Structure 1
């Protein structure tokens, strides 16, 4: 079986046509004078990984079955306590504190390596598991963290140079190795050890499966699972015909099978392998370099996975809880101001979450999110007058997406609204939200700055009143 090995040019991540769009610090558009940044919520897809399944491995495609791209990821260390005593619940607070000090004193560090064993017992140094974050993925997520630092610490001065209070940051990941490892890299790029006081080390938070809201949680919501299956079937019915013309060019790469939304392998699986291969500089069949072919497959796959998020019920069950949690934290910051220390929240998640959020807010570009694709919600407080600027026709149309809007109303001289605003940024672009396109629902002259009140109203509509009840197979009554 063919094997993927690490290209030497990875040392500087140069020479690759990487599909991701790195966080652009220099091109970041600062808020107009009169707005003060208060809180930032970042959602970032994990870094480059291996495909989640073996596909296109036979001739003539010859995509590697084994990816030897995980050398760094398999070297790790952990603390191992050399003292095993009674459980904390059996001890008084004073004794618990003494035992903690004892353990800190005698803890040892265990150095170990993780190696992948194949079915035949073969072990190759640096081989990746399916779906595992690669060395390149660790590098790009570390670089993402560095860019967060360059933007919010060095350029804007929003965050301190040295982290001294852990309550100013919040880090959370889904319970997947690739997202957890990605977040570790992001944190290290944002606040490396010498820029973080020991007592300020913030925990990496993870939720149990039933409580997870960083993805559309079909595990915890049977109704959402049923709806998603239904939309996947609908996508197959709608797009399989459009994929038929590709069979003559692509079937030879998938053992003669037709390429279909619900095929074997599924169209989404083929895209997964192609995108992962391309990101790592692995040669792919020339047909998959053809933009028309890729666009046709992507359109079908995006409909299969995210078409449901055009409906209110899927939006509520899939992203409602996440958006509700976001606004709750922003509400606390808006009401308490400086007495609420939390300023930067970084969430490590998946392409499915990034696309679902965009679709739910009607700003999805119908493109599968790249590795390290990021979405940020910035909360601003108005602290002075903001000079309104005329909205161009294109910006007004982008904001309204069919919603009525009186452009002339935004040409007044100054705004003295003392409220709060949210700006959504995706892949280095500020995206005006259709939900706040109407007059009075965004900062005059700046359609990308949505009033927090308008955002709250929409999120309230999207938040399930009783998640468990609505997640029953029959849905809410």
Structure 2
């Protein structure tokens, strides 16, 4: 059976949350926006494995939702001096039985919906960034005059790279770039990647994540047991468990992917109490990193990058033109960032949801003169070197517990953490010797 567009819309659809431009809370007038770091989950995709395809669930095994960008023109390098025309190439997916069809998707592939066909697509996320930071706030230039003003990086996974391509097209389409400017999308080798918790290059982190998963199974499997009567019939008679076959995370992934594309799912998976129970268990397994060591090894290097780039902007404001840094990544990154700062809501991050870190500079307050100051010919001004960081997730400001104390946030606005308090926490989280800390303990 093959899925195409259509079907029902879920009553509990937490898979979509577009960037809210109109609802964005403008900072107090004394704060000037200096730099924005954006971490966005890729767009709507197919499930990463085939699950729930057998009756009575009958969620299609093959999804026919990938028509866009299937035709290519490539210039193939031939012998020197040989002038070849670009060849035309068409990409098709072949099933294990050898069948092919136009628009058939790979597992885990960004679909047409995830690119530009829905309210929450990656193209529209980029367009929303433009509406917010170019048109509404006037922070970014209307025309991108040089690549140094914007930074784009993705994990080296097709769905995140394609998502970022569409985000860039929404934020700075060709008509809004100087003719000499071609935005670059950066990727890193897997061993150097810090946009995810990199278990490939950190064996100790892999061990910790396995321990977190085992602890989640012990804690949550008994609480999933009451759902057996409702859900086992969709799982070949097997109970739904954190460490089951299929795993609870895989089942929820398939349900969320289907829901995001308007495909019909079993009615029990539309019941709020059922979805909430599964989501809480899965979030605990995958995202709720409470262990300080896990936070250091998982997100420490990424946050150190943020801190260093902000500090460079503070130290060299006239020499550093970088205003926005957009990173295309995964649900696990967004959840880990929130968990690391103790502001995670225990919900699976929706497609194209994002975490942003905004750097602000406190501007001089208009001069206030007293009689004494007039006599002395002096003026009082605010300290102009103060900087603040605001973290936002799902269109909401995050009030960071590490910045709750007096003197660690903007008075009266606890969501604006002082840069020094933010950096102090990041310093605590940054591995001092990555190789040594990643070595498994004897």
TM-score (norm 2): 0.92
Deviation at 1:107, TM superposition (A): 7.8
2:108 to 131, 134, 137: 131
Do structure 1's residue 254 and structure 2's residue 235 form an aligned pair?
yes
Q: Could you tell me which residue of structure 1 aligns to residue 396 of structure 2?
A: 429
Alpha-carbon distance in 2 for matches of 1:250, 1:452: 48
SS in 1 for 2:144: coil
Residue pair 1:73, 1:134 contacting (<8 A) in 2 also: no
**What is the rounded CA distance, in whole Å, between the counterparts of 1:300 and 1:420 in structure 2?**
38
Q: Which residue of structure 2 lines up, in the alignment, with residue 344 of structure 1? A: 324
Structure 1 position 467 matched with structure 2 position 434: yes
| Counterpart selection for 2:272 from 275, 288, 291 | 291
| 3-state SS of paired residue (1:251) | helix
How many angstroms does 1:202 deviate by?
2.2
Q: Give the counterpart of 1:239 among 213, 220, 223.
A: 220
Q: Which has a greater percent of helix? A: 1
Note the C-alpha offset of 1:418: 3.2
Q: Separation in 2 of the partners of 1:306 and 1:219?
A: 18
Query: What SS does the corresponding residue of 1:339 show, helix, strand or coil?
Result: coil
Contact 1:56 1:62 in 2 (8 A): yes
Q: 2:335·2:344 contact (CA, 8 Å) conserved in 1? A: yes
State the Cα deviation string for residues 109-151 of structure 1 (Å, max 9, x = none).
Answer: 4432211011111001100000000000001000000000011
Q: Is the 8 A contact 2:15 2:349 kept in 1?
A: no
Listed as ranges, the gaps of 5+ residues in structure 2 are 367-380
CA separation of 1:320/1:179 partners in 2, compared to 1, >3 Å: closer, same or farther?
Answer: same
Secondary structure of 1:321 counterpart: helix
For residue 355 of structure 1, the aligned residue among 335, 338, 354 is 335
**Structure 2 Cα separation of the partners of residues 344 and 286 of structure 1:** 42
Indicate whether 1:279 and 2:260 are aligned.
yes
Distance 1:49 1:144 in 2: 15
1:209 counterpart (190, 207, 212): 190
Equivalent pairs, count: 423
CA gap 1:377/1:107 in 2 versus in 1, 3 angstroms: farther
Task: Give the aligned partner of residue 33 of structure 1.
Answer: 29
1:322 aligns with 2:302: yes
Alignment of 1:64-463 (within 5 A): 64-82=60-78, 84=80, 109-139=86-116, 140-307=121-288, 309-385=289-365, 416=383, 418-463=385-430
* Distance in structure 2 (CA, Å) of the matches to 1:374 and 1:109: 38
Task: Report if aligned partners of 2:5, 2:262 keep a CA contact under 8 Å in 1.
Answer: no
Unaligned 5+ residue runs, structure 1?
A: 86-102, 387-413
Distance 1:163 1:470, change over 3 A: same
Equivalent residue, structure 2, for 1:406: none
Alpha-carbon separation, structure 1, partners of 2:335 and 2:14: 19
Q: TM-score, normalised by structure 1?
A: 0.85
Tell me by how many angstroms 1:73 deviates: 3.7
2:19 is equivalent to residue 23 of structure 1: yes
Relative to structure 1, the CA distance from residue 193 to residue 18 in structure 2 (aligned partners, 3 Å threshold; closer, same or farther) is: farther
The alignment yields a C-alpha RMSD, in angstroms, of 2.1
Deviations 1:419-454 (A, max 9, x none): 110001111111111111111000111101100000
Residues 1:154 and 1:471: Cα distance change in structure 2 (over 3 Å) = same
* Offset, 1:197: 1.8
Find the residue that maps to 2:101 and give its secondary structure.
coil
